[in-house]
Amino acid sequence: MVEAWACEKFHAVMEDEANKYCLINVEAQQRLGMSDVILQFKKKRKVETGVTAEVDVKATSEDFASSGKSPNITSFKRIRSAYVGDPDYIFIILSLKHKVYSTKNKKTGLVDGIMEIVAHNAYDLKLLSSSDISYNPALGTGQIQVRDIHYVTLVERSTWEFCQLLDKKFMNSRNGFDQWLTLATKNGWIKTDE
């Protein structure tokens, strides 16, 4: 529900012809995709090209202290491949903190619920500090996680530096270098002499 709300808000911005963000397209993505929403912006330059950003919407509850701790962001293989395919790739994590209020409807006897967004943050995954990003090898090629989505530190880094960080976290897990090399070769992350 929170993802749908966020998508509606993006659409409202896009439909405002005077929107200061130059947002020109919003596309909701299928469940279990790389992201929840794709945004396209128009660049204001001599050669007008677009910029695309994928947005992963994370809903967390203000009512639970542990909400937002180590959420799965995306698979290691997917995100690593995305940055190899496009070094200018943008993957935004949109954190929306909500609070739920409920009252009993005297006429129907049912409970009416109201969800209020009480806080928000947006981060470019590539710019999260090393200590904020963790790797969980439990699913498939592993999941990239954020230790606490509400409190992160941002650092400037290149795509190459980010890929090195991801690789280091993968290799430092139980997977090791040999599994990384197999995955890297299979997915075309490295060039071989063959």
One-letter amino acid of 167: D
Spatial distance between the Cα atoms of 141 and 166, rounded to a whole number of angstroms: 12
Q: Between the CA atoms of 29, 35, 36 and 42, what dihedral angle is there, to the nearest 10 degrees?
A: -80
pLDDT on residue 48? 63
14, 22 contact by CB (below 8 A): no
Q: Is the pLDDT of residue 192 over 80?
A: no
The per-residue pLDDT of the chain, averaged, comes to 87
Residues 149-167 have pLDDT tens digits of 888 999 999 999 999 999 9
pLDDT on residue 1? 77
Spatial distance between the Cα atoms of 58 and 73, rounded to a whole number of angstroms: 9
Region 72-93: what's the mean pLDDT? 93
Residues 4-62 have pLDDT tens digits of 888 888 888 888 888 888 888 888 888 777 888 989 888 776 666 778 899 999 888 88
Residues 94-107 have pLDDT tens digits of 998 888 888 888 88
pLDDT on residue 153? 94
Spatial distance between the Cα atoms of 175 and 124, rounded to a whole number of angstroms: 26
CA distances from 90 to 26, 123, 128, 182 (A): 15, 10, 13, 26
pLDDT on residue 89? 93
Region 111-119: what's the mean pLDDT? 84
Q: Which residue has the higher pLDDT, 31 or 84?
A: 84
CA distances from 105 to 49, 65, 70, 96 (A): 52, 29, 36, 27
Spatial distance between the Cα atoms of 188 and 194, rounded to a whole number of angstroms: 12
Q: Is the pLDDT of residue 171 over 90?
A: yes
| pTM exceeds 0.85 | no
Spatial distance between the Cα atoms of 101 and 49, rounded to a whole number of angstroms: 44
